Structure 1
C-alpha cells in the first residue's frame, strides 16, 4: 500500500462478451446507493435512481491507506445470446503525477429469465 493519495480517473469492463453492450459507466457513493448495487433495472421502484445521483466517474481521490466509499457501475444492454461472462475490469488512476492502468478480475454472471 502506497503512502500517496490516488486519483481514480476511470474504470471499464475490459472483456465485454458478444451479446452485451456497455451503455455507460458511473461511479457513486455507497451512502447514496444504500450499499453496493449488484443488479438493478430501470423499472425497479426500489433500486437506486442513478440518473438523480452525483456521478464521480470523471475522477475522485482516495486518501492514502484508506478504502473508497465510491463504487463503479456499468450499465449493460443485452443485444443477443450471451455465451460467456465478463471476467476482467480495467481501472485508470493517477498517483505521484503519473497515469496508470491496472486490470483486475471482476467476474460476474449474466442470466436472463425465460
Structure 2
C-alpha cells in the first residue's frame, strides 16, 4: 500500500514481542525493517507503544 508523504492511512501494524523483564514505561520511536521489490529498507517513526505483560 502506498501512502503519500504527509498523508495518513487506516492500515495498522501488529507485532508480537517477547519482553523478558517487566516493562517500566511505554516505548518511544518504532523502527520497521521491511523488503520491497527485492530491496531492504529501515524506517524509524515517531510512535508510542504501551507494553504490558500477558497474564
Give the structure-2-normalised TM-score: 0.48
- Structure label with greater radius of gyration: 1
Q: If each structure's helix is expressed as a fraction of its own residues, which one has the higher value?
A: 1
Larger RCO (alpha carbons 8 Å, 6+ apart): 1
Query: Please, what TM-score do these two structures have when normalized by structure 1?
Result: 0.28
